[in-house]
Amino acid sequence: MKSLPLNFSNLKGDLFGGLTAGIVALPLALAFGVASGAGAAAGLYGAIALGFVAAIFGGTRGQISGPTGPMTVVFASALAAFGGSLEMAMAVVLVGGILQIVFGLLRTGTLINYIPYPVISGFMSGVGVIIILLQLAPLMGVSSESSPLNAIAGLIHTFQQLNLQALFLGVSTLLIVFLTPVRVSRVVPSPLLALVVMTPISLIAGFSVPEIGQIPVGLPELQLPQFSLQQWSLIFTLGLTLALLGSLDSLLTSLVTDSITQTRHRPNKELIGQGLGNMLCAFIGGLPGAGATMRTVVNVRTGGRTELSGIVHALFLFTLLLGLAPLATHIPLAVLAGILIKVGIDILDYRMLKLLKTAPKSDTLIMLTVFGLTVLVDLVMAVAVGVVLAMGMLTHRMAKEADIRFDDGHGHNSHNLEKVGPGVRIIHVKGPLFFGSASQMLDRMETVDRYIDTHQIIIDCRKVDFMDLTAIFTLDGMVERLMHHEIDVRVVTTPMMREQLLGLNTAFLNEPRLFTNLKAAQR
């Protein structure tokens, strides 16, 4: 878990990236704090504590952690459930942090590697579109909406309330971030250049535009989480929700970071870092959080590549807390919106978008489904549905690979059972036999009418790759049905599978009916 000494190999990029991410994180942290019901200061405390600890002890280089939308919603629910008791809500945060550490120690973080690329692609492009939609209103000097759907629905109202001064600042910012020459960006990243150029212009010109505004000042006080045996079930349930949501959110952001920086994160270490950070939040009254996709992309796109950038981000917010807040209070939100729209455009997965017409239809369907759900419904639900959809399609493909045929024992295929001797027939089963393909066996057997002159059936499973419990029970039930019609059934398997079947002690797949040799079964 130890991450020190720090990596200073990318010092300039990490300083610029961390500073820019800190500036972007500031209004978001304040807004999430207000939205949670715990106050703006709670959002700032959470961004500092989690951002600092997760950067040091986490496993994703360049990741920025802090309060996020989904985590804020769960925390707000916890606060409401306990009648506004901050101490009880912080108990939920503490439990969530402990569970994240347990997840990391149990090495569950590697499960994120099994999420298919179309799911990640849809998620990335969806996040990019969300960023763009949510920043359209601030770009025009109007208050931002709470969700992409509201942003779309409120576009007409946004245009009616258009602030031309804010639009000028926002469009100018977009021109700077898009058109700044690469040689200049290497010295001063274009988002930071836009901030230091457009903010003074707004002040000197006396523009009347929305700004970041008042920032809480002063160190947090120690908060002791309060547990109640009567409420323990609810505390644990909400804590588990926070842990699962925060872990998934963080690891998805880690995958996005890997995709941009061409690196590999350490998922279990990341979970431990996130858990430690959220535990600290519980003791200082900070809002819980996770790896934040938008802030992380801002960081890595501006040059951040190591854990130092996350530390710089947290220290920048900490200096504001200690009294330097006036330096950031007058940053126009339209300038921040311009920077974030550039981030949203950059995060779109153009590689997958270019392949939509030629990629396999199943992958395209998964990507578009995840994209639509990400933008219009919920990020975590989108990923969950995408994974389930991908699993369903994979199950269907595997089920089609199962080959269940009937022949006469001499290689002559037939759709019907053929005799290999007087009253003896063979079923050859090949490939995976599991819950997705087991029903094929029953469907092909159809009725027992065709077995009117058969007294023995041999089911040859020697070429079955694997057999799950559903398939075993299906096979057992089929043997029972055939025996009911006075047909002697024998099953031929590999020695290893025979031992597995005997160990399960099913009703009809017992020793007299299980063989490892086809000739022995025919005797």
Same domain, 142 and 262: yes
CB neighbours (10 Å) of residue 399? 18
3-state secondary structure (DSSP) of residue 243: helix
The one-letter amino acid code at 297 reads V
Of the listed ranges 16-20, 26-30, 103-107, the one predicted with least confidence:
26-30
Same domain, 313 and 392: no
How far, in Å, CA of 187 to CA of 183, rounded? Answer: 7
Q: Where are the beta strands (DSSP E) in 352-452?
A: 403-407, 413-414, 419-421, 424-433
Same domain, 95 and 41: yes
Give me the pLDDT at residue 450, please.
57
Residue written as token pair 């926070």: 242
Which pTM value belongs to this model?
0.70
**Quick check: 357 pLDDT over 90?**
no
Of the listed ranges 110-114, 187-191, 287-291, 450-454, the one predicted with least confidence:
450-454
**Quick check: 62 pLDDT over 60?**
yes
State the alpha helices, DSSP H only, in 285-360: 293-301, 307-319, 333-347, 350-354
Same domain, 249 and 113: yes
Same domain, 386 and 477: no
Same domain, 261 and 340: yes
Report the relative pairing of strands 424-433 and 456-467 from DSSP bridges. Answer: parallel
Residue written as token pair 């002697």: 488
Domain count, the chain: 3
Instruction: Give me 442's structure tokens.
Output: 């029953």
Quick check: is 126 in a domain? Answer: yes
Give me the pLDDT at residue 409, please.
43
Asked if 170 and 191 count as a contact pair (C-beta separation under 8 A), the reply is no
Give me the pLDDT at residue 312, please.
96
CB neighbours (10 Å) of residue 449? 7
How far, in Å, CA of 197 to CA of 448, rounded? Answer: 83
How far, in Å, CA of 229 to CA of 231, rounded? Answer: 5
Q: Which residues of 474-506 are buried (b: 16+ CB within 10 A; e: fewer)?
A: bbbebbeebeeeebebbbbbeeebbeebeeeeb
Which one of 372, 399, 426 terminates a domain?
Answer: 399
How far, in Å, CA of 442 to CA of 317, rounded? Answer: 65
**Quick check: 211 pLDDT over 50?**
yes
Q: How confident is the model at residue 411 (pLDDT cuts 50, 70, 90)?
A: very low
3-state secondary structure (DSSP) of residue 181: coil
Backbone φ and ψ for 517, nearest 5 degrees, come out as: -140, 130
How far, in Å, CA of 106 to CA of 116, rounded? Answer: 22
Same domain, 128 and 246: yes
Report helix angle 232-261 to 293-301, nearest 10: 30
Of the listed ranges 186-190, 207-211, 224-228, the one predicted with least confidence:
186-190
Cα–chain-centroid distance for residue 106? 19
∠ CA(74), CA(77), CA(79), 5° rounding? 110
Using alpha carbons, list the distances in angstroms from residue 409 to 125, 420, 425, 429, 451: 54, 6, 9, 13, 17
**Quick check: 213 pLDDT over 60?**
yes
Same domain, 49 and 105: yes
End-to-end alpha carbon distance in the chain? 63
State the alpha helices, DSSP H only, in 144-189: 148-153, 155-160, 164-179, 182-185
The residue range of the domain holding 387 is: 352-399
Give 459-471 pLDDT, tens digit per residue. 888 988 888 888 8
Of 494 and 35, more confident: 494
Same domain, 164 and 298: yes
Burial degree of 344 (CB within 10 A; 0-12, 13-18, 19+): buried
Same domain, 361 and 438: no
Quick check: is 249 in a domain? Answer: yes
Same domain, 322 and 428: no
In a 13 Å sphere around the CA of 393, the CA atoms on its Cβ side amount to 14
Give 227-255 pLDDT, tens digit per residue. 888 889 999 999 998 998 899 889 989 98
Give me the pLDDT at residue 185, please.
74
CATH (domain of 479): 3.30.750.24
Give the closest residue to 374 by CA, choosing from 133, 39, 85: 133
Residues ≥6 apart with Cβ < 8 Å to 361: none
Same domain, 439 and 408: yes
